[in-house]
Amino acid sequence: MVAADGLEISVENGEYLCLLGPTGAGKTTTLRVIAGLTRPDSGQVLLDDRDVTGLEPEKRNAVLLSQTYSLFPTMTVAENIMFGPEIRGMPEEEKKRTLVELLDLVRLTKRSSSYPRELSGGMQQRNALARALATNPDVLLLDEPLRALDARLRIDLRYELRSLAKGLGLTVIHVTHDQEEAMVMADRIAVIRYGRIIQVGTPREIFDHPATPFVATFVGQSNFFTGNILCSGHGRTTTVHDDEGRIVFARPSTLPVDSKVVVAVKIGNTRVVKLSDAYLTGTVERTLFEGRIVHLDVNVPGLGRYSVKLPASRRDQVAVGDEIGLNWDVDKASVFSYPEDGLEKELKVD
């Protein structure tokens, strides 16, 4: 099995990079290779331009925080934090100062003599983070650091973790399967699948200009339309039609006329419009209130289910059974050549 395949990426000093992909994509393997816990079969790992591929983990100045935190159950919060400095023989004075600083940083000063089992999930996560930071690393490697926590708590901790890393000037590589988490936390996102990096970019680049149909649906969910190009070319709106004579529009593309393509548009960028302005028409099958937005399932005959997110303030304007029109801003729709292995396989997120 090839877990990471010809993978190449560079991370800037002080950058927060999220490695985003589905389970089994090779994210954790990549992180372990960087940490020195797994040897690559071929290739190099460089930290600060220095080849560290053959170096032991503790000589890399990169520390890995594992998904399960791996705190020592028989040690207190403070003992867990001081484990690394102790082993490295840090002078007593410096040890004391480091401990006070780190406890304060992760807000566990009052819990310094508690044991891991007495802490909540969020506290355990912060304890493990402090232990990782105690060795004063330049590079922090986070493997799904928020996965074990409750959904609502995760939302708050995203901001907290990012600002802590930024405050310390750390370079962070953070592995996650959660595209929302990556969008909110990352300076840049690297999307990984089948051991390969598919796209690297800012959250905005990844969301607005996905490199493949998979990225289009993995990061932010998209609606898809399959057809052939009628018009295309530099600076010209791409026009795509299907066998049923439906026509949709998308941003400029260099793919040639007549080629079989897939148009992708984010469900959040799919608009409900008057039938006269519609690219596609369909029947509302279901409306689901989701708080700030209302989720609509729309059955478009011959194409299947399209999803739309409407601001909740417009929820009274659409009801189940309504015939509605759909269109989108041309610049929000991407055009891809039809995937060789078929669209269904390309879009599989699981």
Partner 1 sequence: MPEVELRRIVKRFGKVTASRDIDLKIADREYVTILGPSGCGKTTLIRMIAGIIEPSEGKVLIGGKDMEGVPIEERDIGYVFQNIALFPHLNALDNVSYGPIVKGMDEKDIQEAPRCYLELVKLLDRMHMFPSELSGGEQQKVSLARALASGAKLLLLDEPLSALDARVRMDLRYDLRRISKDLGLTVVHVTHDQEEAMTVSDRIVLMRNGQIVESNTPEMLYLAPRNLFTANFVGETNLLEGTVKEVLEDRSLLELRDGTMVEAQPSRFKSGDAVVLSIRPERVHPASEGLRSVVKSITFMGTYIRISVETDSEDQVNFDVSTSEDRDYKIGDRVDLIWSKRSGILYPRPPEGVQEAIKLE
Residue 346 binds partner 1 (CB under 8 A): no
The residues pairing with 194 across neighbouring beta strands, listed in sequence order, are: none
Contact by Cβ (8 Å): 27, 16? no
Residue 218 binds partner 1 (CB under 8 A): yes
Q: How far apart are the first and last CA of the chain?
A: 18
CB of 275 to partner 1, least distance (A): 24
* Complex with partner 1: residue 1 or 56, whichever CB lies closer: 1
Q: Which of 289, 316, 321, 342 binds partner 1 (CB under 8 A)?
A: 289
CB of 126 to partner 1, least distance (A): 11
Residue 181 binds partner 1 (CB under 8 A): yes
Q: Which of 221, 226, 237, 281 binds partner 1 (CB under 8 A)?
A: 221
CA distance 252 to 232: 6
Contact by Cβ (8 Å): 84, 135? yes
- 181, with CB counted inside 10 A (0-12, 13-18, 19+), is buried
- 151, with CB counted inside 10 A (0-12, 13-18, 19+), is exposed
Residue 2 binds partner 1 (CB under 8 A): no
Of 1-9, 27-35, 103-111, 286-294: span binding partner 1 (CB under 8 A)? 286-294
Residue 46 binds partner 1 (CB under 8 A): no
Residue 1 binds partner 1 (CB under 8 A): no
Strands 188-193 and 238-241 turn out to be unpaired
* Complex with partner 1: residue 123 or 343, whichever CB lies closer: 123
Query: Backbone phi, then psi, for 49, in 5-degree steps?
Result: 65, 5
- Site residues for partner 1, window 141-180 (CB under 8 A)? 150-153, 155-156, 159, 177-180
Rounded to a whole number of angstroms, the CA Rg of the chain reads 24
* Complex with partner 1: residue 61 or 202, whichever CB lies closer: 202
Q: Which residues contact 159 (CB under 8 A, 6 or more apart)?
A: 184
Q: Which residues of this protein are in contact with partner 1, per CB under 8 A?
A: 22-23, 120-123, 150-153, 155-156, 159, 177-181, 183-184, 202-204, 207, 218-221, 266, 268-269, 286, 288-292, 295, 297, 309, 311-312, 349-350
